[in-house]
Structure 1
Amino acid sequence: MRPLPHLITSFPERPESLTAVRFKREGQWISWTWKEYFDNIEACFYFLKSIDLKSHDRVALFANNCIEWVLVDLACQCLGAETVAIYPNCSDEDLQHILTESNPKVIFCGNSSLKERLPKSLSSSSYSFASLKNSKEDFDFWKSLDESLKSSTKSSSEQFKSSCLKCSLDQIATVVFTSGTSGLPKGLCLSQKQVISELQDVSLAFPITAEDRTLSFLPYAHILGRVEMWLSAYCGFTLCICDSIDRVKKDLLENSPTVLIAVPRIFEKIYASVLTKLKASSIHRMVENLEKKGFLASLSMAPARILLQKKVQQGLREALGGELKYAISGGAPLSKEVSNFFKDCEVLLLEGYGLTETTGAICVNTPDTHQFGTVGKPLGDVQIKLAEDGEILVKSDKVFKCGLNSEENPEAVDSLGFLHTGDVGEWTSNGFLRITDRKKNLIKTSGGKYVAPQRIENLFKKFPLVSHVLIHGDQRKFIVALIALDPTELKEWALRKNIPFSKVSDLPHAPQVQKKVSEIVREVNGDLASFESIKKFHILDRDFSIEEGELTPSLKLRRKVCEAKYKSVIDQLYGM
Structure 2
Amino acid sequence: MAQEFQSRIIELTDSALSDSITADALIRLVNDIENQSPPKEIIHLFLELAHLPSVAKIITAAGLTDAWLKQICNFISKSQYHVGSLLKQRADRYSDKTAFKMISGENVNERTYDQVWFDIIQIGKSIISFEQPEKVPVIGLLTYNQYRGALIDLACLSFGIRVIPIPLNSTSDHLNFILKQAEISHLFIGGKTGIQLWNDVQADHDIQVIALDASETLRGQISDWESFLDREQDFHLQERLDLVPMDWTVSIMYTSGTTANPKGIIFNQVNIVSKRFARALALPEIGSQDTFLAYLPLFHTFGRYFELLGSLYWGATYVFAESPAFNSLLKDFKISQPTVFISIPKRWAQLYETIEEGGSLDAADKSVIKSKINELTGGQLKWGLSAAGYLDPDIFTFFQDHGIKLLSGYGMTEATGGITMTPPNDYIPDSVGKSLPGIDLQLNSDGELCLQGSYVTAGYFDDHDSSVFREGWFHTGDIFEERDGHYFILDRKKDIYKNSRGQTIAPQKIENLFHDFDLVNSVFLVGDGREFNTVLIWPNHENSL
What range is the shorter-chain TM-score in?
A: 0.7 to 0.9
Distance 1:183 1:136 in 2: 33
Q: Determine which of 46, 51, 55 is the counterpart of 2:125.
A: 46
Q: Determine which of 80, 90, 97 is the counterpart of 2:160.
A: 80
- Check the 8 A contact 1:338/1:462 in 2, yes or no: no
Q: CA deviation at 1:267?
A: 2.0
Q: Determine which of 334, 347, 351 is the counterpart of 1:270.
A: 351
Q: CA deviation at 1:319?
A: 2.2
The residue number in structure 2 matching 1:411 is 467
CA distance 1:19–1:470, change in 2 (3 Å): farther
The residue number in structure 1 matching 2:382 is 325
The residue number in structure 1 matching 2:271 is 194
The AA in structure 1 aligned to 2:303 is G
Distance 2:193 2:387 in 1: 30
The residue number in structure 2 matching 1:177 is 254
Distance 2:413 2:487 in 1: 19
- Which stretch shows the higher mean deviation, 33-42 or 20-29? 20-29
The TM-score with structure 1 as length reference comes to 0.72
Q: CA deviation at 1:404?
A: 1.2
Distance 2:242 2:392 in 1: 44
Distance 1:91 1:196 in 2: 31
* Equivalent runs, 1:94-493 vs 2, <5 Å: 94-111=174-191, 114-118=194-198, 122-123=202-203, 125-136=205-216, 143-144=226-227, 147=230, 156=234, 159-181=236-258, 183-206=260-283, 207-227=285-305, 228-246=307-325, 247-275=328-356, 277-278=357-358, 281=359, 284=360, 305-307=362-364, 310-407=367-464, 411-415=467-471, 417-428=472-483, 430-462=484-516, 468-476=522-530, 477-483=532-538, 485=540
CA distance 1:95–1:465, change in 2 (3 Å): farther
The residue number in structure 2 matching 1:298 is none
The TM-score with structure 2 as length reference comes to 0.76
SS in 1 for 2:469: coil
Deviations 1:285-343 (A, max 9, x none): xxxxxxxxxxxxxxxxxxx9543655444333432322111201223343323323333
Distance 2:242 2:507 in 1: 49
Runs of 4+ in 1 over 6 A off after TM superposition: none
The AA in structure 1 aligned to 2:469 is V
- Check the 8 A contact 1:43/1:145 in 2, yes or no: no
- Check the 8 A contact 1:58/1:103 in 2, yes or no: yes
CA distance 1:455–1:41, change in 2 (3 Å): farther
Distance 1:107 1:67 in 2: 16
CA distance 1:33–1:133, change in 2 (3 Å): same
The residue number in structure 2 matching 1:93 is 173
SS in 1 for 2:318: strand
CA-atom RMSD in angstroms: 2.9
- Check the 8 A contact 1:423/1:437 in 2, yes or no: yes
The AA in structure 2 aligned to 1:226 is R
The residue number in structure 1 matching 2:10 is none
Distance 1:146 1:172 in 2: 26
Distance 1:465 1:236 in 2: 46
Deviations 1:7-40 (A, max 9, x none): 1222431234421111136863111111000011
Deviations 1:513-564 (A, max 9, x none): xxxxxxxxxxxxxxxxxxxxxxxxxxxxxxxxxxxxxxxxxxxxxxxxxxxx
CA distance 1:356–1:484, change in 2 (3 Å): farther
CA distance 1:345–1:248, change in 2 (3 Å): same
- Check the 8 A contact 2:82/2:273 in 1, yes or no: yes
Distance 1:7 1:20 in 2: 14
* Equivalent runs, 1:483-562 vs 2, <5 Å: 483=538, 485=540, 507=542, 512=545
Q: CA deviation at 1:109?
A: 1.3
Q: CA deviation at 1:419?
A: 0.9
Q: Structure 1: where are the runs of 5+ without partners?
A: 285-303, 486-505, 513-576
What's the % identity of the aligned pairs?
26
Q: CA deviation at 1:44?
A: 1.0
Q: Determine which of 87, 95, 98 is the counterpart of 1:19.
A: 98
Deviations 1:93-122 (A, max 9, x none): 322232232221111111355223226553
CA distance 1:223–1:33, change in 2 (3 Å): same
- Check the 8 A contact 1:45/1:160 in 2, yes or no: no
- Check the 8 A contact 1:272/1:463 in 2, yes or no: no
Q: Structure 2: where are the runs of 5+ without partners?
A: 1-75
